[in-house]
Structure 1
Amino acid sequence: MGSVLQREEMDQINRLVEQEVYDLAKQVVYFPIRHHSPACAFHLQKTIAEYEPQIILIEGPDNSNHLIPILTAEQTKPPVSIYYAYASGEKKYVCYFPFLTYSPEYVALVEAKRREIPAAFIDLGYGSRLESMEDGHDLKKQNQKLSYHDERMLAGSQFIARLCETMRCRNFDELWERVFEVEGIRKPTREFVKDVFAYCYLSRKCYDDATLEAEGDLIREAHMRQKIAEAKAKYQKILVVTGGFHTYGLLESRKTAYKIQKVKDEKIYPMVYTYQEADQLNGYASGMPYVHYYETVWNAMGKKEQTPFSKSALSYLAQLVKRLREKGEIVSTADAIEAYSLISGLAVMREKSEGGAYELQDSVLSAFTKGERSIATAKPIETLRELMTGEGIGEVAPNDLDVPIVRDFKETCKAFKLTITTTGRNQKVLELYAKRSHREASRFLHCVHFLGTEFCTKEAGPDWLNDKYVNLVRETWRYSYSSYVEARLIEASVYGGTVKEAAAQKLEEMMKELPQHQSHMLAKWLLMAVVMGLEKLGERLFAAVVSAVREDGHFLSLCKTLKTLSILHEQRRLFGLTDTARLESLVDEVYYQAVAKISELSSPNPDECPEIAEQFKFLYMISEQKQAEASRDIFLDQLETLLAVPTLPAMLEGAAAAILCNLGALERGEISVRARAYMFGTPEKMQHTAAYLHGVFLVGRDYLFDDDSILSDLNQMIIRLDYDSFLQLVPQLRLAFAFFGPMEISMLAEKVGALFETTAEEMTAPAVAEPVLQRARLLDDRIRGEFARWNLI
C-alpha cells in the first residue's frame, strides 16, 4: 500500500509540474525556489532566457515595488535589504527582506531590468500580513526582528526530518546542498524544478489547513493569486518566482475570502545589509547559510567553472592558512593539501560529484585539528566559518528615499575617518584635550551611543556622568557598522533628521518624564547634553535645572546636582563653555541650598547614612575651595547644630566631628573623646563604634596616627568583647578601615606592633598552622615537666 501511495503521490507531482507549474507553452510559469540558493538562481536565469517572459512576478511585499529601480541600480552592491517597520499600539514591529548577489529574487530583478521588462512584488505587505492574521498568533506576539524569508515550515516538516535521517544528513541545509546545489546544477532545468517542487510539495502536505492559516500562508497566497490574475489580463507570458513552499498554494483554487487589514504609515526603506546578518545560522532563518561561501560558488558558476565547489574549496583553504597564521596559529601548507584531498574522498563516500560546504568543514576539522575538538583546537574550524560567512557590507545607490539621519551619519563617519565599509570591529582613540576634531568626534560618538544604535562602545576614558576616571585625557572607542545600526538609525529618525537633532529631541522627551523636583537627574541630562555637544538643548536644560533646584528639598539630590554642576565648571574649557558666570552663580546657589539642609538630617533613613556622610565630605571640599568666609561659616554653623543632636547616627557624628576639627571649630582630642564614649559605653552603643570610626576615617584618616589613644582604646574594647559580639562587629570594623592605603596599612601595623611589643614584620608574617602549634604546645608542656622533675624551674 505504501508503494502504491508513493507512486500516486509522484504521479500527482509529475502531472502538476508538466501541466501547471513548468509548462513553458502556458501563459503562467511558476518557478519554485529556496531563498539564497545559487542553484535556483542558476536555473532561473536559464528559464528566463528560454521562456522570455513579458513580466516577472516575485514573492515579496507589494508595497515595496517603488524600490525596485533602487535595488537594481548599478551603484547598489548586495548584500542589501528592504527594511519594514510599523507600530501597532505600544508595540513596534520590524522586518528585513535581504538580497544577495545570488538570491533568486535579486537575479530575477536584475534580469528583468537587463531585458527591459517589468518586475513586481506580489506578496502581502509586512504590516498588513501581521495585522490580517489572528491576534493570538505567535508572529504577531513577537516584538523582534524577523526576516521575510522565514523557512521554518519547509525545514521543520516531518518529511524533511525523515529524509535527513534516511540520507544520513545532519540537517536540512546539508540535505539541500547535496541534492540541489552540488547535483542540481548538473541537472536539466525541468528536472531541477520538478525536484524542488516535489520536496516543497511533500513538506507542505505535512501541515493541515489550520496550521497554514495560522502561519499566514493562506492569506498571503490568496493575495498573490489575485496579483497573478491581474497580470494575466495584461500579459501573455508571466513568470512567477516564489518560495517552493507556496508554489502549490498558488495552484489551488480556494473560495475562502480573506479580509486584509491595510497598515498605514508603514516605513519602507532600502538599506545596506551584511553577510553575517544574511547568514541563516545567525538566527534569522533567512535561507541558505554560509552566504559568502555560496557567493564564491556563484561567481565560479558565472565563470563557467566545471567544478565550482572544488574551486571554491581551494580558495578557502588558502585563505584559512593565511588567516590562521595572521592569528599566530602554527599551520602548514601540508595541512591544507591533506584537507583538499579529504574533500574529494568525502564527496565520493557521500555520493556527491563535488565536496561542498560540509565536506570542506569536515576536512578542516580532520586535517587541522588532528584529534579531539576542544577550546584550544577549535580555532581552525571557527576561522573557516568566519570566512564562509563573510565580513562584507553592501551599498545602496543614492536615492530620494535615503533617510536623512542615515545620510548624516555616514557623512559624519567619513569626516571623522570612522570605517563603516566592513563589519569588523574597529578602534578609535581620541585625544580630548589636544585636538578639537577629536572632541567633535567624541561628541558624535556619544550621540550615536545615546540613540541606542549599538554602533559604538566606550572602552576607556573619563566617565563624566558617574564622576569616574575624570583625570584621563583620552577616550578609546570600539565601533562596528552593520544593517542593525542602520535600522536603529531609521527608527531614531522620528526624533530628527540628523544624529545631533535626534539625540537632542530624544533627550528632551526623556527630560519631560522626570518629576520637577529631581534636580540631580536634570543636572545629569544637562551634563549629558554638554558631553554630546547639544548647545541649544543645554540652554533649555540649564533653565530647567535652575527651576528644579528651587523646588528640590532633598539634601542628597541637591548634593548630586552640585557635584554634576561642579564637573561642568571644572571642565568648562574641554566642554567649550563660554558663559560661565551663570554656571558659577548656580553652583553657589545649590551649595547654599544643600548646606541649609544639613541641620535637618538628625533622623535620616539609616540606609542613607553612608551616602550622607560622603556628601558631608564633598561639601567640605567645596567649602575649602570657596574664598568667601560666609560660605564656610554657614557650613560650620549647620554642622555644629547637627552635632549637638544627642540621637545623631554614629557615622554622621564621626564625619561631622572630623570636619569641624579640620576647620578648627573643635579640638582634635574631641575625636578620641567621642570614640571612647562609644567604645566603653553600653553594649548597644559599643556596636556603633565601627560606624563612628567609619565617619571619622572618611574625612581624615590621620586622626588614627596623631592620637595613639584611639588604637589603644579600640584594643581594650575588643579584649572586653565576648565571642558573638566580636563576630558581629568585625565586618563593620573592616569596612571602616577600608579607606587606608598600602602605605598607611604598613604604618598602622607598626603602631599595632608597638602596642603588643612586637614588630610589624612579625605581625605580617604567615600564620603558623594549627597542627604545628599543637605539637609545639605539647613539646613545651613536656619540657616544662622535665625541668620541674629536676627542679630547674
Structure 2
Amino acid sequence: MDWLSQVTDADVAALKGLFDAKVHDLGSGTVYFPVRHHSPACCHHLVKLIDEYRPEAILIEGPESGNPLIGVLADEATVPPVALYYTYEHEAGRDACYYPMLACSPEYVALKEAVKRGIPAKFIDLDYHHLASCHAEPENTEKLEASTQDETLLAGSAFIQRLCAKLNCRSFDELWEKVFEIGGLAKTTRDFVQDVFTYCTLSRMCYPESRLLASGDLAREERMRERIAEARRQHERVLVVTGGFHTYGLIAEAAEPEAGRRTSEKPDMSAGQVQHQIYPMAYTFPEADRLNGYASGMPYPNYYGMVWERLQRGKEQPYGLVAVDLIARLTRKLRKLNEGVSTSDAIEAYRMVQDLAALRGKREGGVYELMDAALSSFVKGEQSLATEQPHTELGRMLTGDAVGTVARNPFHVPIVEDFKERCKEAKLRIETTGRHKKVLDLYAKAGHRRLSQLFQCLAYLVPTFAERLSGPDWTAMRDMSLVRETWEYAYSSRIEARLIENSLYGGTLREAATRKLEEEMQGIPDHHSGEMAQRMLQALLMGLQDTAARLYDQVRSALRKDGNFLSLCGSLHALNRIRQHGRLLGLTEDPRLPELVAEAYDNAVDKLAQLARANSDEHEPIIQGLKLLSMLADSPDPQFGDDVFRSHMNELLADPGLPAQLEGVCVAISSGLEDRPRREIVERARAYIRGAPERMRQTALYLQGVFAVSRDAFLYEDELLSELNYLVGQLPYEEFVGMVPELRLAFTYFTPLEIALITERVAGLFRVQADELDAPAMDELDLAQARAWDEAVRKEFEAWKLI
C-alpha cells in the first residue's frame, strides 16, 4: 500500500492548521509565500500579499553569493530574462549553474517590490557548490550548468500523477495551469497560497527523507532556516518567498529544530575548498522553456509573460486577451508563409478555445486549449511534416525569442562587454535567439575581412556561436579558390557563459584568443611543426597578426627538429597558404615567411626516402604531401627548382618494396615532370596486371595512385584501358568481386564528365552504343541461370568435340 492511500481527511486538516499557524498568519513576525517558479498567478498574489502584510524584509530562495548583485537585477535598466551564472572549481573538476529570472518570476517581482518600498531583500539559499557536495548520487554531482530551481521532485510525485489522472490533465503543467494559473486568479490570496502549500506539501510527502537528503533539499532548508532566524532578530515582519516544495520543510523544522543528523550528511561549508564566481548575465526565452530541457518553472515563457503583462495592467480576462493576440499573429505569420489560413479559421480557433475551456471546467482557455484549437482549425487534413507549420509557428510564439539586458554594473565581465560592442559594430543581431546568416566577400571588402576575423575568433573561443557553412576551409585546405564565406550565427546565454569561462585569458576577445593560443602552443611538442604552423595560420585568420609574428621562431625551431614527413608537409601546406594569401590575411612583406616555406620544403623532400616503408593507413595523406611537393617542384619559383625532389622520386621508384599505391603516385609525378616517359605508367600497370596472383591483386591500388595525380593517363591512352579490360577478363569471378571496391575507389578521382568520356571509350572497345552501358544490370538470379546454361552448352560442345 502506497503513502497516498493512507492520507486521511485528518491529515489534510492538520496541514490546514499548520498553514494557519505557521504559513499565513499575517499577525506573526514571519509569513511564508510558496511559489512555482515563473508563475504569473504567484506573482499576482505575491504583490497583493506584500501590499497587505507590508513586510520589513523579504527573503528569497536564491544563492547567497548573489546578494551583492540584487541591485543589478532590480535596476530599471535590467530587462528580463536575465540570470545569475554561478561557476566553481574544485579538485574534482568544474561545474556551473544558472539562476534565471523572468518578468513573471515571483523572485524577480519580490526584488522589484522590495526596491520599490525601500526594504531589504536577500537570497538565503545555499550556493551551488554546497548543494552539489551533498548529493548522494554520482550523476548528480556531475551536473553541468544545472538550474538551482529544479522542480523535478514536485512535478514527478505520485500525488501529482494521480491528481492528473483524476482531473483528466495530460501533464503536471496542464494541471497547474488549470488549478492555479487560471483558477487561482479567482481566489483570494489566502486561499491561493493555502492551495499551493497543500499541493506542494502532499507532493513532498511522497518521498522518504533519504531521497530529500540525497537531492540536497534538506541541506538547503537547513541553511534557509538559519537565515530566516537571523532576519527575525533584525526585523519585526519578514516575508519568505521560496519554492512551494520547501515551505513545509522550513516551518516544520522551525517548530522542532533538527537533532541527531550525522555531520557527514551535511554539506561541507568550510571556506577555501573551492573557487567560485557569480555573474549577472542576459538570458533567453528558449533556454528558460522547460520543454527545451530546462528543469524548472513554467513552460512557454513568452506566453505566460504576456499573461503577466495583462495582469499588471488590471485586465479581467488575461488569458482570453492573449489568445486573441496570438491567434491574430499566427494567422498573419501563416499567410506570409503561403499557408491557406482564412479569417474564418482564426475566428473558429478562438471560439474553440472558449468551448474547450468550458468543456474542461476552466474559467478561461489557457495555452493547452490554444494549442488544441490551432491544431484543429489551422492544420488541414492529417497532421504530418507537410502540415506541421501552424503547430511549429505557434510553438515558437509561445516560447518567444527575447534576449534580456543587464544594466551596466561593476560586476560585468570585460570580455562579455567587448563581445557585445564588437557585435554592435559589426551589426550582428544578438538581441534575439534566431539563427542569422552573413555572406562575406573576403577579397573585395575590408569590412567583410574584419568580420570574418571576428567570426573566426568567436568560433575559436565559443564554437557554438558561429558556424562557417561555405567558403575556403583553411583547416582542411579545401575550396581555397572560393572568394566568399557564408556564416550562420545565433545568440544564447550559453555564449555569454562560455565567454565568462574564457575571461581568465583576457578582457577582450583578441586578448583571450591570443593568450589561449599561446597556451596551446606551449602544450605542443617542440618537434610537431605541422601543428605549430596551423596555429600560426589560425592566429592570422583571427586577425592576430602580432601573435602570428611572434610564432615565426617557434615554427622554425620545430621545423629543424621535425623528422616526420606528414608533419613537415602539414607545415609546408599551411606556410605556403599564408604566403599565397598574405593580402587576405593582413600580412605585410616579411622575408622570414619565404625562408620558412623553403625550409619546410627542403626538410620534407629530405624525408622522402622513408616513404617506402610507410604504413598503409598513411598512404592518403602521403599522396597529398607528394602532390604538394611536385606542384612546388614544377613551379617557376627558383627556391623549389632544384633536382633533389626528382632524384628522390627516382630512388623511390627503384625500391622494390615501394607500396603499389605510392608507386602509382611516384611514376605519375615523374612522368608529369618529364623525368620519365608516360609509357612507363602503362608498363608498370601491365607488370601488375599480368604478374603473379598476389601482384595482380595490387592493380587497383596502383591505379588509385596513378589517377590521384594523372587522370589523363587513362582518359587518352587506349593501351591502359586495354590492359584493364584484359585484367577483368582474366580474373576469376570471386577475385573480381573482391577487387571491385578498390577499383571503384580508383575511379572516384574522375569527374562526371570524365566518366562519360570513359564510357564512350569502353563502348567503342566492345563495339556497342554508349547508352547500352547504362542499361539496368541483370538480376542476379537471371545471371546465375544464364551462367549455368552457358556452362551446360560448353560441356555439350566439348562432348561433341565442337570446340
Shorter-chain TM-score bucket reads over 0.9
Rounded to whole Å, the distance in 2 between the matches of 1:85 and 1:2 is 39
Q: Describe the SS at the equivalent of 2:405.
A: coil
The aligned amino acid for 1:400 is: P
Q: 1:507 to 1:745 in 2, by over 3 A?
A: same
Q: CA deviation at 1:223?
A: 0.9
1:129-528 aligned at under 5 Å gives the runs: 129-131=131-133, 133-134=134-135, 136-142=137-143, 144-251=144-251, 252=253, 253-256=256-259, 258=266, 260-262=269-271, 264-528=274-538
1:126-150 per-residue CA deviation (whole Å, 9 max, x = no partner) reads 222223x1454542132x2211111
Rounded to whole Å, the distance in 2 between the matches of 1:512 and 1:660 is 40
Rounded to whole Å, the distance in 2 between the matches of 1:630 and 1:43 is 81
Q: Describe the SS at the equivalent of 1:53.
A: coil
Give 1:96's match in structure 2, choosing from 83, 93, 98.
Answer: 98
Q: Find out whether 1:549 has 2:559 as its counterpart.
A: yes
Contact 1:54–1:237 (CA under 8 A) maintained in structure 2: yes
Rounded to whole Å, the distance in 1 between the matches of 2:5 and 2:689 is 95
Q: CA deviation at 1:18?
A: 1.5
Rounded to whole Å, the distance in 1 between the matches of 2:716 and 2:377 is 72
Rounded to whole Å, the distance in 1 between the matches of 2:625 and 2:286 is 50
Q: Describe the SS at the equivalent of 2:662.
A: helix
Rounded to whole Å, the distance in 2 between the matches of 1:629 and 1:462 is 27
1:606-654 per-residue CA deviation (whole Å, 9 max, x = no partner) reads 3323432332222111111144387431111111122111222222222
Rounded to whole Å, the distance in 1 between the matches of 2:79 and 2:317 is 26
Q: CA deviation at 1:56?
A: 0.8
1:33-72 aligned at under 5 Å gives the runs: 33-72=35-74
The aligned amino acid for 1:44 is: L
Q: 1:235 to 1:677 in 2, by over 3 A?
A: same
Task: Give the corresponding residue for 1:781.
Answer: none
Q: Describe the SS at the equivalent of 2:561.
A: coil
Contact 1:672–1:710 (CA under 8 A) maintained in structure 2: yes
Q: Describe the SS at the equivalent of 1:392.
A: coil
Rounded to whole Å, the distance in 2 between the matches of 1:651 and 1:3 is 76
Most deviating of 641-650 and 665-674: 665-674
The aligned amino acid for 1:204 is: R
Q: 1:340 to 1:595 in 2, by over 3 A?
A: same
Q: CA deviation at 1:7?
A: 2.2
Most deviating of 391-400 and 421-430: 421-430
Contact 2:634–2:641 (CA under 8 A) maintained in structure 1: no
Q: 1:641 to 1:76 in 2, by over 3 A?
A: same
Contact 1:523–1:545 (CA under 8 A) maintained in structure 2: yes
Contact 1:430–1:475 (CA under 8 A) maintained in structure 2: yes
Give 1:694's match in structure 2, choosing from 694, 704, 714.
Answer: 704
Q: CA deviation at 1:560?
A: 1.8
Q: Find out whether 1:577 has 2:578 as its counterpart.
A: no
Q: 1:371 to 1:496 in 2, by over 3 A?
A: same
Rounded to whole Å, the distance in 2 between the matches of 1:705 and 1:3 is 84
Contact 1:569–1:580 (CA under 8 A) maintained in structure 2: no
Q: 1:429 to 1:45 in 2, by over 3 A?
A: same
The aligned amino acid for 2:682 is: S
Q: Find out whether 1:731 has 2:741 as its counterpart.
A: yes
- Tell me, which stretches of 5 or more residues in structure 2 are unaligned? 788-803
Q: CA deviation at 1:124?
A: 1.2
The aligned amino acid for 2:470 is: A
The aligned amino acid for 2:710 is: G
Task: Give the corresponding residue for 1:646.
Answer: 656
Q: CA deviation at 1:352?
A: 1.4
Most deviating of 438-447 and 532-541: 532-541
The aligned amino acid for 1:105 is: E
Q: 1:714 to 1:209 in 2, by over 3 A?
A: closer
1:4-19 aligned at under 5 Å gives the runs: 6-19=8-21
1:131-176 per-residue CA deviation (whole Å, 9 max, x = no partner) reads 3x1454542132x221111111111111111111111111111111
The aligned amino acid for 1:102 is: C
The aligned amino acid for 1:67 is: L
The aligned amino acid for 1:260 is: M
Q: Describe the SS at the equivalent of 2:504.
A: coil
Q: CA deviation at 1:185?
A: 1.2
1:175-205 per-residue CA deviation (whole Å, 9 max, x = no partner) reads 1111111111111111111111111111111
1:727-785 per-residue CA deviation (whole Å, 9 max, x = no partner) reads 233332332233233443344334334433445455455667899999999xxxxxxxx
The aligned amino acid for 2:413 is: V
Q: 1:627 to 1:188 in 2, by over 3 A?
A: closer
Rounded to whole Å, the distance in 1 between the matches of 2:745 and 2:766 is 23
1:610-629 aligned at under 5 Å gives the runs: 610-628=620-638
1:316-365 per-residue CA deviation (whole Å, 9 max, x = no partner) reads 11111112122221111111111111111111111211111111111112
Q: Find out whether 1:598 has 2:594 as its counterpart.
A: no
The aligned amino acid for 2:428 is: L
Rounded to whole Å, the distance in 1 between the matches of 2:139 and 2:692 is 66
Contact 2:32–2:247 (CA under 8 A) maintained in structure 1: yes
Rounded to whole Å, the distance in 2 between the matches of 1:549 and 1:13 is 78
Task: Give the corresponding residue for 2:791.
Answer: none
Rounded to whole Å, the distance in 2 between the matches of 1:401 and 1:93 is 20
Rounded to whole Å, the distance in 1 between the matches of 2:367 and 2:118 is 36
How many residues are matched?
Answer: 778
1:697-736 aligned at under 5 Å gives the runs: 697-705=707-715, 707-736=717-746
Contact 1:562–1:590 (CA under 8 A) maintained in structure 2: yes
Q: 1:166 to 1:573 in 2, by over 3 A?
A: same
Rounded to whole Å, the distance in 1 between the matches of 2:181 and 2:236 is 32
Task: Give the corresponding residue for 2:88.
Answer: 86
Q: Describe the SS at the equivalent of 2:748.
A: helix
Q: Find out whether 1:655 has 2:665 as its counterpart.
A: yes
Contact 1:128–1:261 (CA under 8 A) maintained in structure 2: no
Rounded to whole Å, the distance in 1 between the matches of 2:329 and 2:170 is 26
Q: Describe the SS at the equivalent of 1:602.
A: helix
Contact 1:453–1:489 (CA under 8 A) maintained in structure 2: no
Rounded to whole Å, the distance in 2 between the matches of 1:2 and 1:602 is 77
Rounded to whole Å, the distance in 1 between the matches of 2:658 and 2:414 is 60
User: What is the root-mean-square deviation in Å for CA atoms of aligned residues?
Assistant: 2.5
Rounded to whole Å, the distance in 2 between the matches of 1:350 and 1:574 is 65
Rounded to whole Å, the distance in 1 between the matches of 2:639 and 2:509 is 47
Q: 1:753 to 1:348 in 2, by over 3 A?
A: closer
Q: CA deviation at 1:385?
A: 1.7
1:665-684 aligned at under 5 Å gives the runs: 665-684=675-694
Contact 1:291–1:389 (CA under 8 A) maintained in structure 2: yes
Q: Describe the SS at the equivalent of 2:551.
A: helix
The aligned amino acid for 2:34 is: P
Most deviating of 54-63 and 757-766: 757-766
Rounded to whole Å, the distance in 2 between the matches of 1:300 and 1:532 is 47
Contact 1:61–1:125 (CA under 8 A) maintained in structure 2: yes
Give 1:126's match in structure 2, choosing from 117, 125, 128.
Answer: 128
Contact 1:610–1:651 (CA under 8 A) maintained in structure 2: no
Q: CA deviation at 1:74?
A: 0.8
